[in-house]
């Protein structure tokens, strides 16, 4: 059997294969209330029908002010749980596992309200200048991540992922480009990691399942984060109870990286080797053979597919045919597959 279609276990959750649907914002909430719609149900369920082993819902805000836009999903109140549970139940009915990415946009929130960040530095000239968070406000954000994790448990999710990448709030704290604080949340690496460690440990008080973190392994500019900076971060995450790091890049400053097939895989590989933690590889992975090479050469443990799953909801079947594998279709599709 190919490595791609072998099982993968994280704590008490076993994935039927190593294909993961990447969190991708759909900007499809209709009433600015953060509640998932019929579109979200069809969108995520269709990838479960298609054979993906783990479906990760898009960035879901733990505070209303933590949304990227008013069209983002939310998990900051109990009224948002039923629609999320409906998605979970549907994905489960097609023999897939499902996770949720908990997020706070920080200075990249495009809202009418006052926005917040580690330091009062705008993302770019096109963005509002954020308010610098007080320590009490940081503590409230940590508590809101914990409350969101409890709601995720109530909704029945199998996995939680924390969004510490792409220039959103936790990444803003980690990077010296966006964190100029002079208190215990700024300066040395251990201080800049502090909020992420507090969030992980707070979530662990209410969540026993697998916990993943998405990072941006490089900021792509001088003075920003590098892969080497993330090695101690990754070791601290592992010690705090994280099972796997989903390795992306960029997003904290407006820089466009050089993009090519598999361009981020080397970061997942390096971090896996140097920090001794499981990783997910992502970034222009579009074929079964490409995914199999990454796994077979032990460059990552999971393959996280983004835009290719937008183009082909049945990518698992496409990859299986390419690799000469047989996968079990939903019974409704047996005649076609």
Q: Per the annotation, where are the binding residues?
A: 22-25, 27, 59, 101, 163-166, 214, 306-307
216-239 as b/e: b if 16+ CB within 10 A? bbbbbeeebbebebbbebbebbbe
Residue ranges for the known binding site for FMN are 22-25, 59, 101, 214, 306-307
105-137 as b/e: b if 16+ CB within 10 A? bbbbbebeeebbbbbebebeeeebebeebeeee
Of 167, 263, 158, nearest in space to 215 by CA: 167
Residue ranges for the known binding site for substrate are 27, 163-166
What secondary structure does DSSP assign to 303-323, as a single string?
EEE-HHHHH-TTHHHHHHHHH
Q: Which residues are 9's β-sheet partners? A: 14
Q: Is 195 within 8 Å of 244 (Cβ atoms)?
A: no
């Amino acid at each position: 059997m190919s490595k791609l279609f072998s099982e993968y276990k994280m704590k008490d959750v076993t994935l039927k294969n190593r294909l993961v649907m990447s969190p991708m914002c759909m900007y499809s909430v209709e009433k600015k209330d953060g509640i998932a719609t019929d579109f979200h149900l069809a969108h995520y369920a269709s990838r479960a029908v298609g054979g993906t082993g783990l479906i990760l819902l898009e960035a879901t805000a733990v505070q209303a002010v933590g949304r990227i836009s008013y069209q983002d999903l939310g998990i900051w109140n109990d009224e948002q749980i039923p629609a999320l549970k409906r998605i979970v139940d549907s994905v489960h009915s097609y023999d897939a596992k499902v996770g949720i990415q908990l997020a706070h946009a920080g200075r990249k929130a495009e809202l009418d309200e006052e926005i917040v960040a580690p330091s009062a530095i705008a993302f770019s000239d096109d963005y509002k200048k954020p308010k610098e968070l007080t320590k009490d406000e940081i503590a409230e954000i940590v508590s809101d991540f914990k409350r969101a994790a409890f709601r995720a448990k109530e909704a029945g999710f199998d996995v939680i992922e924390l969004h510490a990448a792409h220039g959103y709030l936790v990444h803003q704290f980690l990077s010296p480009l966006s964190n100029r604080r002079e208190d215990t949340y700024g300066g040395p690496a251990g201080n800049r990691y502090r909020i992420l460690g507090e969030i992980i440990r707070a979530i662990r008080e209410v969540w026993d399942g697998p916990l993943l973190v998405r990072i941006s392994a490089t900021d792509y500019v001088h003075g920003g984060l590098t892969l080497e900076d993330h090695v101690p971060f990754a070791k601290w995450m592992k010690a705090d109870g994280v099972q796997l790091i989903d390795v992306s890049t960029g997003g904290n400053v407006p820089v466009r990286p050089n993009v090519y097939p598999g361009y981020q895989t080397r970061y997942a590989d390096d971090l896996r080797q140097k920090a001794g933690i499981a990783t997910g590889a992502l970034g222009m992975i579009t074929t079964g053979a490409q995914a199999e090479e990454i796994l077979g050469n032990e460059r990552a443990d999971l393959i996280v597919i983004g835009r290719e799953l937008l183009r082909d909801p049945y990518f698992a079947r496409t990859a299986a045919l390419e690799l000469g594998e047989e996968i079990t279709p939903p019974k409704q599709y047996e005649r076609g597959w």
